[in-house]
Amino acid sequence: MSVQREQVRSHLERILSEEAELLEELERVLTQETEVLSGDDTVAIQGIGGARQRCIDALTRLDAERADACRMLSFGHGAAALDKLFAWSDPSQALRQQWLRNLELGRRCKDINERNGAIVSVKLGRVRQALGKLRGAQPPAVYGRRGTRYGSLAARELGRA
């Protein structure tokens, strides 16, 4: 029994369509996450991660399904294999165009996610500083121009011109 190109094309169409829907949902979730992270509602912050993780899990499953199709049809793995699979199964290039749109959606999601990570990092830094003050921790040590250690951040000579 041989695999028909039309069957493979239909299979890839379904994968790419589901992927596009998931990426659009992920973009919405990440945008909502940005709004939530900008506030101070800890319950909302805890709740937003689950939706993001469900999207990521489903996208990972689809990626594995696409890679399996490449291997099953002896195209190998990686970007070159996917190009060969698209060329073999869809000479019209429609699948490749959908793939490129999905890649762009993925890049936008990555950018939003990195921005959210930066927001979280800044908030964590503020929490660490506040905890340090509450615990009475010493400020971080700094060094002078000769490598001597200053014990505090009081006024001192920083250099000469």
List pLDDT tens digits, range 113-151.
999 999 888 888 888 888 877 777 666 666 666 666 655
Q: Beta partners for 150? A: 142
Query: pLDDT: is 148 or 21 the higher one?
Result: 21
- What distance in Å separates the CA atoms of residue 104 and residue 108, rounded to the nearest whole number? 6
Which three-class secondary structure state does DSSP give residue 100? Answer: helix
Closest by alpha carbon to 7, among 73, 59, 71, 64? 73
Whether the predicted pLDDT of 28 surpasses 80 = yes
Q: What is the pTM of this model?
A: 0.76
Q: What is the pLDDT of residues 66-117, one digit of tens each?
A: 999 999 999 998 889 999 999 999 999 999 999 999 999 999 999 999 999 9
Architecture in CATH of 5-137: Up-down Bundle (1.20)
Q: For the chain, what are the domain ranges?
A: 5-137
- What distance in Å separates the CA atoms of residue 146 and residue 151, rounded to the nearest whole number? 15
Whether the predicted pLDDT of 55 surpasses 90 = yes
